[in-house]
């Protein structure tokens, strides 16, 4: 790069990126600090901390999620998610901040900056401070929309990269126009690489909506390809290049999604479940999508009116754009058409948003069940709409601004400024005015606008349990996890986030429980019975102990959710019943009382890995297995229950008929959890065969290997206790066995591809950055 080019590049970096980025960060901090009274930044409560801290570290790297009940196969997100997990880790190490909110806030900032850069790029031909101010205002509103919505960004953070997706698609389209103009290839492909990085970021962070995002990208690309001038073939090459690179970067996510769906043959089941959910959602509320509300929570005229303003202004801007004879804005036309087209398609697919238009999709589902891959619940893809509306709106405001200023009528300019101010104020106002959580939907005083601090006793309970050694699980009673309410907290059970152990919260989930382990259902059933009926015949300590539940937290501040039974098939509980049932279980001991909550220890909790004998109870259903386990006096530590009927989604063909071992003698055993997908077990002085029980959810991907690498035949890998893995080991002496989740190998391989693709993309971006930014100047040589 030449000296002027470097300086030009640095200047642009400073004024167009760093300065607005810094300003937006300041705005973000001020908004959230003022609004939430600094409580967000310092470890106190926030809306929905969804995942445990540990799982955010593991989730990017490991194909098995240990923290979900007795574990389940997870989707590998790849390197970027892991990098973000490191960010979380750094926050915790340096500041003791253990929540995901800081990461969320960072995402908001990234997205807002992206929107600002996009809007500036689209109007790069007109340098105007007024325009920059408008775009800055739009970015602030964008931050607010994300920051004030209930759905946490940890659900679908990939959407925050959408402005970059559009930005680099636009730049790629322009760069690929410059065929044969002397611009080096690197600059054209550097934008395409940036595009691929954005697309990969959207895919990897947004796994629930890969297909919808792909539709969005495809429509964008189509608009740019077909509707703008220039060399179509060159553009096509650029887009294909970016698509291939993005897919390569996203290999872990795609590979593990495929494994998850098709390895166990559950694809049709998933589609069936998904289509059922679609039919239940049918509400009108286009502007709910703008504000990211769940459909039953907003019925406020103010919000709708503000949203209407947005969309009508966007329409007016489109009108201006297309009817203006000025050729300067021709590059925007494909952008608009692409955005509106995507918008319509996504509303159509999102039947949760707008019936009956959106509900037409549910009609098509009846005929073509496979279309259910395209459906999404209302909370998940509202970001797409947010992005589209804000982009459309921002461009439209700029077009209106240009139109008015070109007429040179001062009174119109003042009117326009006043109009922008009204929009800005009313948008902010509707956040303050609308109670976020409709009081009829949930009990308690909680709403996003009444952020509650976590009581000290909750933190004390969490700290106490986290300080206990060993590998165990924790159960919460009465069952919470968003369908019960405490007097102070509404949302996913806070213990699920604060505890560093798998926490059984026992909610009845709707469509996505197809991925949940059997233990989730069983805990729901057992917890129901524990909470609602005086049962004397079942020993709950043994049933819970089978899942490794060592501690039970009885939340003394829980109240019954008034809509139970209607939505969630859960009956009303009473504390008397809970305490009576717990006290009747011989293995439950009260450990401590924390304010109005109690912690019980379950003496019958089994370890993660142990050796046991086995009882074959025939071709029994799941409830029978649990009845046997729950019978008083049953030794769950030394006997595992086996049914010839397989439970769950994996069938059990070509398996041994497991039987009780006569002369069973338990060997000495110790184990070490190396990673979430690998555990090493040391067996000493085994004198007889035994069943090696591994208390994670049964999955054919788990395999056991001897130290010399010999695999224990899969015929000896059976399911016991209705959910767990067990291997029949017929070897005496002392040796070690490694239990390994084999899809992890695929995960590492795909991670390598991802890293290589990412490195290639970064390298091309670097090659083209300086050259692309500043125009080439002819070398002036004095001959």
Partner 1 sequence: MKSHIYNDIRNSRTFRTARKIVLPLYLAILMVVLLFLVVLNNSELILYSFIAFAFIGIVLSRDYRNAGMALVSSTIIISVSSIFYYSVNATRGSLILQNIGIVGYYLLISSIIALLIRLAHDSTAPKLGSLFDPLRKFWKKSNSVVVPALGFLGIAILLLPIWPLGMHIHTSLMPYIPVIIYQISHTYNSSQYILNLDLSKYPTLINPQRSNMLLYIDGNVTDVSVIGSAPKLYNMTLLISTKAKISNRTNMRLYITSYSTGFNNYTKTIQHYDSAASSRIYALAGNLTNVGKNITITERYYGLATVDRVSYANFSTVPYYELNNVCLPGTSHHVSINYSAISPESLFIFRNDSAMADTVLADTYQKNYGYYVGRFANNSLAHVINSTSGTISAPYTGTCLDYAFVLQNGQTTTVRISSEYTVNTTMIWNATVPAAIASQKEYFYGDYGFLPSGLSYLYEYYMGYHNIYSSN
Closest approach of Cβ 320 to partner 1, in Å? 8
Helices 185-204 and 251-262: angle between axes, nearest 10 degrees: 40
Closest approach of Cβ 363 to partner 1, in Å? 5
Nearer to partner 1, 433 or 766 (CB): 433
Contact between 485 and 444 under an 8 Å Cβ cutoff? The reply is yes
Nearer to partner 1, 500 or 644 (CB): 644
Nearer to partner 1, 128 or 621 (CB): 621
Report phi then psi at 77, rounded to 5: -90, -25
Closest approach of Cβ 284 to partner 1, in Å? 5
Q: How does DSSP classify residue 711? A: B
Closest approach of Cβ 215 to partner 1, in Å? 15
Closest approach of Cβ 334 to partner 1, in Å? 7
Report phi then psi at 644, rounded to 5: -75, -5
Q: State the virtual CA torsion across 614, 618, 621, 625 in degrees, nearest 10.
A: -30
Nearer to partner 1, 624 or 682 (CB): 624
Contact between 225 and 235 under an 8 Å Cβ cutoff? The reply is yes
Nearer to partner 1, 264 or 535 (CB): 535
Nearer to partner 1, 93 or 323 (CB): 323
Nearer to partner 1, 62 or 431 (CB): 431
CB atoms within 10 A of CB 631: 13
CB atoms within 10 A of CB 30: 10
Terminal CA-CA length for the chain: 22
| 506/309 Cα distance (integer angstroms) | 43
Closest approach of Cβ 372 to partner 1, in Å? 18
Kindly tell me the burial class for residue 8, based on how many C-beta atoms sit within 10 Å of its own C-beta (0-12, 13-18, 19 or more): middle
CB atoms within 10 A of CB 590: 14
Closest approach of Cβ 440 to partner 1, in Å? 15
Closest approach of Cβ 288 to partner 1, in Å? 9
| 305/467 Cα distance (integer angstroms) | 52
| 480/555 Cα distance (integer angstroms) | 9
Nearer to partner 1, 325 or 780 (CB): 325
Nearer to partner 1, 287 or 390 (CB): 287
Closest approach of Cβ 294 to partner 1, in Å? 15
Kindly tell me the burial class for residue 505, based on how many C-beta atoms sit within 10 Å of its own C-beta (0-12, 13-18, 19 or more): buried
Nearer to partner 1, 319 or 414 (CB): 319
Biggest CA-to-CA distance, the chain: 103
| 347/311 Cα distance (integer angstroms) | 14
| 91/100 Cα distance (integer angstroms) | 10
| 560/367 Cα distance (integer angstroms) | 40
3-state secondary structure of 769: helix
Locate 375 and state its tokens: 């459906």
Residues that bind partner 1 (CB under 8 A): 226-227, 229, 232, 284-287, 299-301, 304-305, 307-308, 311-312, 314-316, 318-320, 322-323, 333-334, 336-337, 340-341, 344, 347, 354-357, 359-360, 363, 529, 533, 535, 537-538, 565-566, 569, 571, 615-621, 623-624, 627-628, 630-632, 634, 657, 659-660
| 158/387 Cα distance (integer angstroms) | 12
Q: Name 22's Cβ contacts closer than 8 Å, sequence gap at least 6.
A: none
Beta bridge mates, 394: none
Place of tokens 């659900």: 155
Closest approach of Cβ 575 to partner 1, in Å? 19
Closest approach of Cβ 177 to partner 1, in Å? 12
Place of tokens 């009609």: 363
Nearer to partner 1, 73 or 298 (CB): 298
Closest approach of Cβ 403 to partner 1, in Å? 13
Nearer to partner 1, 632 or 684 (CB): 632
């Amino acid at each position: 790069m030449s000296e002027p080019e470097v300086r030009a590049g640095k200047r642009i970096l400073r004024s167009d990126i760093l300065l607005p980025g810094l300003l937006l960060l300041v705005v973000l901090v001020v908004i959230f600090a003022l609004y939430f009274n600094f409580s967000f930044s310092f470890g106190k409560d926030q809306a929905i901390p969804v995942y445990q801290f540990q799982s955010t570290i593991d989730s990017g790297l490991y194909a098995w999620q240990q923290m979900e009940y007795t574990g389940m196969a997870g989707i590998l997100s790849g390197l970027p998610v892991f990098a973000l997990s490191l960010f979380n880790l750094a926050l915790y190490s340096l500041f003791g901040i253990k929540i995901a909110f800081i990461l969320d806030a960072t995402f908001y900032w990234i997205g807002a900056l992206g929107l600002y850069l996009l809007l500036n790029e689209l109007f790069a031909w007109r340098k105007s401070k007024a325009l920059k101010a408008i775009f800055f205002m739009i970015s602030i509103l964008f931050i607010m929309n994300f920051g004030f919505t209930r759905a946490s960004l940890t659900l679908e953070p990939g959407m925050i990269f959408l402005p970059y997706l559009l930005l680099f698609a636009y730049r790629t389209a322009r760069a690929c126009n410059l065929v044969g103009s002397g611009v080096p290839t690197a600059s054209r492909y550097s934008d395409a690489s940036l595009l691929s990085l954005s697309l990969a970021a959207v895919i990897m962070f947004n796994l629930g909506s890969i297909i919808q995002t792909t539709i969005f990208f495809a429509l964008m690309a189509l608009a740019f390809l077909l509707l703008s001038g220039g060399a179509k073939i060159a553009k096509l090459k650029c887009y294909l290049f970016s698509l291939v690179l993005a897919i390569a970067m996203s290999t872990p996510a795609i590979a593990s999604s495929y494994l998850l769906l098709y390895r166990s043959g559950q694809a049709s089941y998933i589609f069936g479940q998904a289509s059922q959910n679609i039919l239940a959602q049918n509400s009108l509320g286009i502007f709910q999508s703008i504000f990211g509300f769940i459909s039953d929570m907003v019925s406020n005229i103010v919000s709708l009116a503000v949203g209407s303003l947005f969309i009508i202004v966007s329409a007016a801007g489109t009108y201006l754009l297309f009817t203006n004879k000025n050729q300067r804005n021709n590059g925007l036309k494909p952008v608009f058409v692409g955005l509106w087209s995507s918008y319509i398609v996504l509303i159509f697919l999102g039947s949760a948003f707008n019936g009956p238009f959106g509900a037409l999709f549910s009609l098509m589902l009846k005929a073509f069940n496979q279309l259910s891959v395209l459906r999404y619940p209302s909370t998940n893809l509202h970001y797409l709409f947010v992005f589209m509306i804000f982009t459309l709106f921002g461009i439209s405001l700029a077009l209106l601004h240009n139109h008015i200023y070109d007429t040179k009528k001062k009174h119109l300019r003042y009117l326009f400024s006043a109009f922008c101010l009204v929009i800005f104020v009313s948008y902010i106002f509707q956040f303050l005015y609308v109670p976020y959580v409709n009081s009829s939907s949930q009990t308690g005083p909680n709403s996003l606008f009444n952020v509650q601090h976590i009581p000290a006793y909750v933190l004390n309970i969490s700290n106490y349990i986290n300080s206990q050694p060993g590998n165990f699980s924790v159960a919460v009673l009465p069952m919470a996890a968003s369908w019960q309410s405490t007097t102070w907290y509404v949302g996913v059970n806070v213990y699920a986030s604060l505890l560093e152990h798998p926490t059984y919260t026992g909610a009845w989930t709707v469509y996505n429980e197809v991925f949940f382990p059997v233990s989730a259902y069983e805990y729901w059933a057992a917890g129901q019975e524990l909470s609602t009926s005086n049962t004397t015949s079942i020993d709950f300590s043994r049933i819970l102990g089978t899942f490794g539940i060592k501690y039970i937290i009885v939340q003394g501040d829980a109240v019954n959710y008034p809509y139970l039974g209607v939505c969630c098939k859960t009956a009303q509980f009473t504390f008397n019943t809970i305490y009576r049932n717990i006290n009747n279980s011989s293995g439950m001991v009260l450990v401590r009382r924390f304010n109005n909550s109690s912690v019980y220890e379950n003496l019958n909790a089994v370890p993660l890995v142990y050796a046991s004998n086995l009882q074959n109870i025939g071709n029994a259903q799941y409830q029978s297995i649990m009845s046997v386990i729950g019978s008083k006096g049953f030794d769950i530590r030394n006997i595992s229950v086996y049914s010839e009927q397989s439970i769950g989604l994996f069938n059990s063909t070509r398996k041994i008929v497991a039987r009780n071992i006569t002369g069973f003698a338990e060997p000495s055993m110790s184990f070490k959890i190396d990673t979430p997908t690998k555990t090493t077990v040391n067996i000493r002085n085994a004198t007889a065969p035994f069943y090696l029980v591994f208390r994670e959810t049964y999955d054919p991907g788990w395999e056991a290997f001897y130290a010399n690498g010999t695999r224990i035949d899969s015929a000896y890998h059976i399911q016991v206790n209705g959910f767990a893995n067990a291997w029949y080991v017929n070897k005496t002496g002392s040796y070690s066995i490694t239990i390994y989740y084999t899809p992890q190998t695929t995960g590492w391989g795909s991670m390598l591809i991802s890293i290589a693709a990412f490195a290639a993309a970064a390298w091309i971006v670097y090659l083209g950055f300086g050259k692309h930014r500043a125009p080439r100047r002819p070398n002036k040589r004095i001959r």
